[in-house]
Structure 1
Amino acid sequence: MTGSEVPHSFRLAYVPGVTPTKWVRIWNERLPDIPLTLVQVSPTEAFGALRGGSADAGFVRLPVDRTDLSAIPLYTETTVVVIPKDHLVAAVEEITTADLSDEIVLHPLDDTLDWEKLPGRPAIERPATTADAIELVAAGIGVLVVPQSLARLHHRKDLTYRPVTDAPESRVALSWPQVETTPDLVEEFIGIVRGRTVNSTRGRGPTPPQPKTKRAHAGGAAKRKPTAGGKSGGKAGGKNPRGGSASPKGAKSSKTAKRGKPPRRP
């Protein structure tokens, strides 16, 4: 990508409850020249933001319409019931939906859980948002079943929550518009979310290989090239450190070959 083609920023949408901090930090380390702009959207606005171009990619909750959007499922959240701290359910570690049969279970319009049948008794009216439903729970008008991240997001000192073991679960995914060629920056962010290293072949580009250095031989001595006649280029006479010949082991020297008994005089 040339300098003129680099966008001014990468726009990342995210729905309430998702914390993109870790991925944003990695992005800033790897691409400090391209700012990442966070765009907070409601669950109902998330897909419109991706289709309308106000976000390049986004953390959303499944299901995703795969007709024009791609998605990578990331993780599944625990489902909990939000209750007042003095509620009977607060005395146990976890419950089932059957334990809520006598409770008014609030069902906000922005609910992210795919219920076949809502447990408990329905409220007269549906709250507009999860935040509104939290206020009603604090007022003692019912309980609320939500993904754990939303219970933490709307934490209050007078409320607590407990896992609901058989409730529907919410799955978080990374989604982006389907196009013939995925933009480079979207590919970069997909790689970060999937845990690719900076040197991945699908990343921004591998680090060029470093030149190899010549390793010294054992003892730290550099290898010497043999001189003419097969002798080492070391000390005169080609002797090794022990004072012997530099010739290969088992080979006789030329001096030794000529030496013999002197001839007898007649």
Structure 2
Amino acid sequence: MTGSEVPLASPTFRLAYVPGVIPGKWVRIWNERLPDVPLTLTTIAAADAADALRAGEADAGFVRLPVDRTDLSAIPLYTETTVVLVPKDHLVAAADEVSVADLADDIVLHPLDDTLDWDGPLPGLPAKQRPATTGDAVELVAAGVGLLVVPQSLARLHHRKDLTYRPVSDAPESRVALSWPEERTTDLVEEFIGIVRGRTVNSSRGRRAAPAQEQPGSSKAKPKPKAKRSDTAGARRKPAAGKSTGRNPRSGGSGGGTGGTGGTKSGRRGRPGRRS
């Protein structure tokens, strides 16, 4: 290498994800298939995810829908159950499931980073002030100030021993999607899309797909050709070693000549001659 040559930087893949999403299984598959391409993870607030992708802060990201698809592509992955987070001694904790109407008499906190797309009035009684974040709202629930309706993954993320949660049957659900800038659909983005969609390493759309046919010079043994019919089913049986039939194998007589017709072929194959 001369002094004027500058080595090219190794490619990397930058993946963003919003709180509640656990990308571990996809990252593990990536590391197995592309060990030479490092994957870096970045946590980003749900409200800022789309702008971060547009600004090039990540190559792709797990976001919560809806997103503006004017310049972003998105593949919906799954829908989460919506739950209400309550103190363990609250009446709601005694139920298996509740409805929005069941929360009408309780203060329900709606943080500024709320990820649910409410259509119409917000459930419950309003708090005097909206918490800044979901984490702040969880602290207020633990203090007995109010309740919090969130996707189940966020309730698990902010788990506390003094709190529990129950499904809300008629609340809006949160959908998680893989998103990326449409104009920057690179080979690495396509590779990650394939991993998320469950394509195998030999998929024809994979960047590193295995060849469909054997390459010249391959050390693999070629399959043995099938035996011809004349070598198997059509072949005549040979007599056992040391034995002689003494007759034409198509004649009707036995090996010793008793009751036979001599060298003359029988009218029907295998039919014994008449006794004299």
Shared fold (TM-score greater than 0.5)? Answer: yes
How many residues align structurally?
Answer: 230
- Which residue matches 1:201? 204
Structural mapping, 1:87-166, within 5 Å: 87-116=90-119, 117-166=121-170
| Cα 1:80–1:42 shift into 2, 3 Å | same
Instruction: Say which SS state the counterpart of residue 35 (structure 2) adopts.
Output: coil
- Measured against aligned partners, the alpha-carbon deviations of 1:183-210 in whole angstroms (never above 9, x if no partner) come to 0000000000001111111102332345
| Cα 1:161–1:241 shift into 2, 3 Å | farther
Task: Indicate whether 1:191 and 2:176 are aligned.
Answer: no
Kept after mapping to 2: 8 A contact 1:73/1:174:
yes
Task: Indicate whether 1:242 and 2:237 are aligned.
Answer: no
| Partner Cα separation in structure 1 for residue 35 and residue 225 of structure 2 | 37
| Cα 1:77–1:5 shift into 2, 3 Å | farther
- Measured against aligned partners, the alpha-carbon deviations of 1:138-197 in whole angstroms (never above 9, x if no partner) come to 000000000000000000000000000000000000000011x62000000000000111
Query: Which aligned segments of 4 or more residues in structure 1 are displaced greater than 4 angstroms?
Result: 4-7, 215-218
Task: Indicate whether 1:31 and 2:34 are aligned.
Answer: yes
| Partner Cα separation in structure 1 for residue 239 and residue 55 of structure 2 | 80
Structure 1 gaps, min length 5 = 224-231, 233-238, 251-259, 262-266
- Which residue matches 1:254? none
Q: CA deviation at 1:78?
A: 0.1
Q: CA deviation at 1:241?
A: 6.4
What is the letter of the counterpart of residue 224 of structure 2?
Answer: K
Q: CA deviation at 1:213?
A: 2.3
Instruction: Say which SS state the counterpart of residue 70 (structure 1) adopts.
Output: strand
Kept after mapping to 2: 8 A contact 1:8/1:34:
yes
- Which residue matches 2:87? 84
- Which residue matches 1:18? 21
What is the letter of the counterpart of residue 35 of structure 2?
Answer: P
Q: 1:214 aligns with which of 199, 206, 224?
A: 224
Instruction: Say which SS state the counterpart of residue 83 (structure 1) adopts.
Output: strand
- Which residue matches 2:269? none
Structure 2 gaps, min length 5 = 1-6, 215-219, 251-262, 265-276
- Measured against aligned partners, the alpha-carbon deviations of 1:187-237 in whole angstroms (never above 9, x if no partner) come to 00000000111111110233234553216859xxxx7xxxxxxxx9xxxxx
Fraction of identical pairs, as percent: 71
| Partner Cα separation in structure 2 for residue 99 and residue 241 of structure 1 | 92
| Cα 1:158–1:131 shift into 2, 3 Å | same
Instruction: Say which SS state the counterpart of residue 121 (structure 1) adopts.
Output: coil
Q: Which has the higher helix share?
A: 1
Kept after mapping to 2: 8 A contact 1:198/1:204:
no
- TM-score, normalising length: structure 2: 0.77
- Measured against aligned partners, the alpha-carbon deviations of 1:48-105 in whole angstroms (never above 9, x if no partner) come to 2111111000000000101110000000000000000000000010000000000000
- TM-score, normalising length: structure 1: 0.79
CA-based RMSD of the aligned residues comes to 2.8
Instruction: Say which SS state the counterpart of residue 98 (structure 1) adopts.
Output: helix
| Partner Cα separation in structure 2 for residue 182 and residue 131 of structure 1 | 34
| Cα 1:200–1:6 shift into 2, 3 Å | farther
What is the letter of the counterpart of residue 84 of structure 2?
Answer: V
- Measured against aligned partners, the alpha-carbon deviations of 1:83-134 in whole angstroms (never above 9, x if no partner) come to 0000000001000000000000000000000112211100011000000000
| Partner Cα separation in structure 1 for residue 8 and residue 67 of structure 2 | 30
Kept after mapping to 2: 8 A contact 1:62/1:173:
yes
